[in-house]
Amino acid sequence: AQSVAQPEDQVNVAEGNPLTVKCTYSVSGNPYLFWYVQYPNRGLQFLLKYITGDNLVKGSYGFEAEFNKSQTSFHLKKPSALVSDSALYFCAVRDTAGFQKLVFGTGTRLLVSP
Amino acid sequence: DAMVIQNPRYQVTQFGKPVTLSCSQTLNHNVMYWYQQKSSQAPKLLFHYYDKDFNNEADTPDNFQSRRPNTSFCFLDIRSPGLGDAAMYLCATSSKGQGSGYEQYFGPGTRLTVT
């Protein structure tokens, strides 16, 4: 079965510093990987995806993610964090055994301090 | 803007009193999903519709039902809510077919409180 792991429950970073939110995956075949962000009392917002092509994927709000096949990772990055980036971030993988189902990680809370 | 809309945003119901949550979309997507999310945990898929075909997850309780009368609307019915059903309920849509990006687009959610 496809799965993703987010090893950190929380990531703390100072505003202006680079941020990384980690995600590793386990899939059979080619992975379809996604990042979503969730602000308090809101739904999930799609940030970016990797299906094929360049290993560095650029998404919304200045976020990018690097696909690394050898390390089976898909870490989310941003060069300069904003306080407004503080939110819950979910990594997800498309379940090839199911109908386009997304399998979500457990989420990582990002806290950006002023 | 094309979007996924959920009403109401907040719903309070009594223990055992049926409740219906609604979702509509202007994206013209052929797949609609219902998720349950508790306490900042990962969303848990309850079921999805591919056009009119209903697909229930194996571990979704019978207490949860869904209806999709047309492409734009989908409803979540909780027949006898228990205290454990208090959660955020998320509706999402996606497009299945050639050229699909596979990403899902989520509504803002309905927070259900059971008293």
Mutate which: A8, A44, A52, vs B, most B CBs within 10 A? A44
Structural domains in chain A (count): 1
Q: Which residues in chain B have their CB less than 8 angstroms from residue A53's CB?
A: none
Interchain CB distance below 8 Å, B45 and A100: no
pLDDT value, residue A30: 84
A101 interfaces chain B, CB cutoff of 8 Å: yes
The domain containing residue A75 runs over which residues?
A: 3-113
Tell whether the model's pLDDT for residue A1 goes beyond 90: no
> What's A88's domain CATH number?
2.60.40.10
Short-list B81, B82, B87, B63, CA closest to B19: B81
Cα–Cα dist A52/A55, whole Å? 8
pLDDT of chain B, 115 residues: tens digit per residue:
669 999 999 999 999 999 999 999 999 999 999 999 998 899 999 999 999 999 999 999 999 999 999 999 999 999 999 999 999 999 999 987 655 668 899 999 999 999 9
pLDDT value, residue B1: 66
Given A32, A90, A100, which is nearest B42 (Cβ)?
A90
Amino acid in the structure at residue A72: T
Question: In chain B, which ranges are E strands?
Answer: 4-7, 10-13, 19-25, 31-37, 44-50, 53-56, 64-67, 73-78, 87-94, 105-106, 110-114
Q: In A11-47, which positions are buried (b, 16+ CB within 10 angstroms) versus exposed (e)?
A: bebeeeeebebbbbbebeeebbbbbbbbeeebbbbbb
Q: Which residues in chain A have their CB less than 8 angstroms from residue B106's CB?
A: 36, 43-46
Mutate which: B104, B112, B113, vs A, most A CBs within 10 A? B104
Q: Taking residues A25-31, what's their average pLDDT?
A: 88
Tell whether the model's pLDDT for residue A19 goes beyond 70: yes
**Domain boundaries defined on chain B:** 4-108
Percent residues over pLDDT 70 in chain A: 96
pLDDT value, residue B97: 66
At CA B92, angle to CA B90 and CA B96, rounded to 5? 160
Interchain CB distance below 8 Å, A41 and B48: no
Interchain CB distance below 8 Å, B106 and A44: yes
pLDDT band for A41, please (50, 70, 90 cuts). confident
pLDDT band for A98, please (50, 70, 90 cuts). low
Q: Hey, what CATH topology would domain B4-108 get?
A: Immunoglobulin-like (2.60.40)
